[in-house]
């Protein structure tokens, strides 16, 4: 499965953190793409004490029952889903997740929406990290994993006309940089003042 190799295995084979994403995503690496992976890897936890056995696992539209079950348990335990959202439905929106051993410690989900100012559809991601795993350096590599999983799917499904991935930053204290390490660029604000950030796929062409 894509990017299921653990960092521990990677290091054991003499790998360097700078090359982690190059190895973990060989299929999703168009020419010239390495720069982005290296930027993400440099800021990931490999050099900040992140536990080395974190596994990043792809989940977008793969209907993996074990990952869905673990995510539903995580959302239920953390009581994070709004009352009108069914966990089973949200589980169908999983993109990439992080496991520490057998324990699910972070998830990304996404929904495809039109971003009206540029008249294109983006996969809007969400990120949830278990409190004990916060600030451990996995948020950026997981966001990159989410991005690359969506990119691969988008390349394989051009009829979906998804132009890139995006995020609305609702967590307080985040978003000081115009361009986040995972490439998300500030492009505007929601009516209630949250940052909207987007990232375009290189392969996407705007119909002109
Ligand atoms: C907010 C939260 C995800 C931060 O987790 P964390 O592991 O402590 O994150 P870190 O501070 O180590 O790293 C944040 C990085 O994640 C990335 N990221 C991607 N999407 C993000 C998002 N929606 N919110 C915050 N960070 C996001 C950014 O690239 C940021 O990196 P950069 O600023 O270095 O470029 C976590 O506290 C959490 O799950 N909170 C509850 C749910 C929530 O609020 N989710 C985010 C909604 S916007």
pLDDT of residue 29: 42
Residue 160 in domain:
yes
Q: Give 117-137 pLDDT, tens digit per residue.
A: 999 999 999 999 999 999 888
Average pLDDT over residues 95-106: 92
Whether the CB of 174 sits within 6 Å of ligand 1: yes
pLDDT of residue 56: 85
Q: Please tell me the distance between residue 80's alpha carbon and the centre of ligand 1 in angstroms.
A: 15
Mutate to test the pocket of ligand 1, among 134, 139, 190 (most ligand atoms within 8 A of CB): 139
For ligand 1, what atom is nearest to the CA of residue 177?
A: 33
Residue 146 in domain:
yes
Percent of the chain with pLDDT over 90: 63
Residue 206 in domain:
no
Average pLDDT over residues 194-208: 95
One DSSP character per residue, 90-122 reads HHTTEEEEEEETTEEEEEEEEEEEEEGGGTEEE
Whether the CB of 143 sits within 6 Å of ligand 1: yes
Residue 63 in domain:
yes
Residue 205 in domain:
no
- CA 208 vs CA 44, 55, 119, 205: distances in Å: 38, 41, 12, 9
pTM: 0.82
Residue 190 in domain:
yes
Q: What is the CATH number of the domain that holds 168?
A: 3.40.630.30
For ligand 1, what atom is nearest to the CA of residue 174?
A: 25
Q: How confident is the model at residue 104 (pLDDT cuts 50, 70, 90)?
A: very high
Residue 77 in domain:
yes
Q: Residue 111: pLDDT above 50? A: yes
User: Which range marks the domain in which residue 54 is found?
Assistant: 7-200
Whether the CB of 129 sits within 6 Å of ligand 1: yes
Q: Within 13 Å and on the Cβ side, how many CA atoms surround 161?
A: 8
Split into its structural domains, the chain has a count of: 1
Q: Please tell me the distance between residue 196's alpha carbon and the centre of ligand 1 in angstroms.
A: 14
Q: Give 156-176 pLDDT, tens digit per residue.
A: 999 999 999 999 999 999 999
pLDDT of residue 40: 37
Kindly report the average pLDDT of the chain as a whole number. Answer: 82
Of residues 80 and 21, more confidently modeled:
80
Residue 2 in domain:
no
Q: Give 20-70 pLDDT, tens digit per residue.
A: 554 444 444 444 433 333 333 333 444 444 445 688 888 999 999 999 999
């Amino acid at each position: 499965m894509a990017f299921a190799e653990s960092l521990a295995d990677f290091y054991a084979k003499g790998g360097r953190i700078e090359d982690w994403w190059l190895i973990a995503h060989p299929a999703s690496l168009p020419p010239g793409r390495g720069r982005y992976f290296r930027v993400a890897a440099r800021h990931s936890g490999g050099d900040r004490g992140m536990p080395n056995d974190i596994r990043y696992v792809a989940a977008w539209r793969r209907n993996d029952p074990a990952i869905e079950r673990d995510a539903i348990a995580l959302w239920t335990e953390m009581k994070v889903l709004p009352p009108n959202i069914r966990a089973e439905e949200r589980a169908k929106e999983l993109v990439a997740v992080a496991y520490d051993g057998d324990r699910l410690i972070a998830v990304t989900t996404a929904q495809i929406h039109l971003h009206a100012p540029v008249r294109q559809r983006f996969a809007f991601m969400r990120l949830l990290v278990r409190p004990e795993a916060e600030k451990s350096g996995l948020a950026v590599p997981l966001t990159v994993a989410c991005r690359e999983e969506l990119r691969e799917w988008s390349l394989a499904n051009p009829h979906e006309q998804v132009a890139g991935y995006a995020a609305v930053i609702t967590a307080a204290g985040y978003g000081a940089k115009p361009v986040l390490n995972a490439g998300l660029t500030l492009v505007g604000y929601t009516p209630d003042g949250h940052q909207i950030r987007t990232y375009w796929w290189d392969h996407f062409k705007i119909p002109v």
